[in-house]
Amino acid sequence: MILRTFIPYFLSFLFPVIFFFGDEPVGEGRKLSAGLLPLHPKEEELLEWDMHRPLTWSDYKGSPDPESDAAASTTTYLAIEYNMKGTEFSYKIHSRFSCDKSWGLHKTDYILSHEQGHFDIAEVYARLLHKKMSEYRFDPKTYRKDLKKIYDDVVKAKEEMQESYDKETNHSIYRAKQAEWLERIALTLKNTADYAGY
């Protein structure tokens, strides 16, 4: 199964009012980061991660890639919005699934559970990003570099876990490994529950 995760790599600023990168609008005059996130998210149907609302095949509204031999493709976004006024600092994190860019060719419950695993991993790292951000002590001299490093480090770890998930399960083909990974992901979600309120 193909996983596409879209992330911004550069930061844009409207200092001192708003510091932002991601796919959320933040008012008139905003700047969006250079990167791969949609400039007009209202034109794309997105779902926030919700423990009470797992993915269904009806959420996969994209057209299958004719060049791909994958059974399905899941696209997620991890974004963060910063707001700074003087020395006050706040942020909001988003873990989202793109209905329009995700597709399913072989729509079985088993394959869907593998794809849900990808979205759940994205949620784990949204929580870990929240943990890192909650521990950060704002430094007006270095915050741009500091915040980019926090974000990049979390994204790198997330991508490594996503790749390991697909590699070790052979994109869900190895059923025993797939079951092990789903248990591992569920346990990690449980262990990061304190940081779910981002």
Q: Encode pLDDT of 41-72 as tens digits.
A: 558 899 999 999 999 999 999 999 999 989 99
Q: How far apart are CA 141 and CA 145, in angstroms?
A: 9
Q: Provide the residue range defining the domain that includes 47.
A: 2-195
In order of 32, 154, 177, 180, the CA distances from 168 in angstroms are 36, 21, 7, 10
Higher pLDDT, 18 or 90: 90
What are the angstrom distances between the C-alpha of 54 and each of 35, 82, 118, 120, 180?
28, 28, 12, 9, 19
Rounded distance between C-alpha atoms, residue 99 and residue 114, angstroms: 16
Q: How many domains does the chain have?
A: 1
Angstrom distance (rounded) from CA 185 to CA 118: 9
Digit-coded pLDDT (tens) for 106-148: 999 999 999 999 999 999 999 999 999 999 998 888 988 999 9
Query: Over the chain, what is the mean pLDDT?
Result: 82
How far is 166 from 181, CA to CA, in rounded Å? 10
Q: What's the rounded Cα separation, in Å, for the pair 118 and 194?
A: 20
Strand-strand pairing, 12-14 and 46-48: unpaired
pLDDT band with cut points at 50, 70 and 90 for residue 192: very high
**Cβ density class 167-197: b for 16+ within 10 Å, e for less:** eebebbeeeeebeebbeebeebbeebeebee
Residue 10, pLDDT > 50, answer: no
Quote the CA–CA distance of 154 and 128 in Å, as a whole number.
7
The tens digit of pLDDT for each residue in 146-173 reads 999 999 999 999 999 999 999 999 999 9
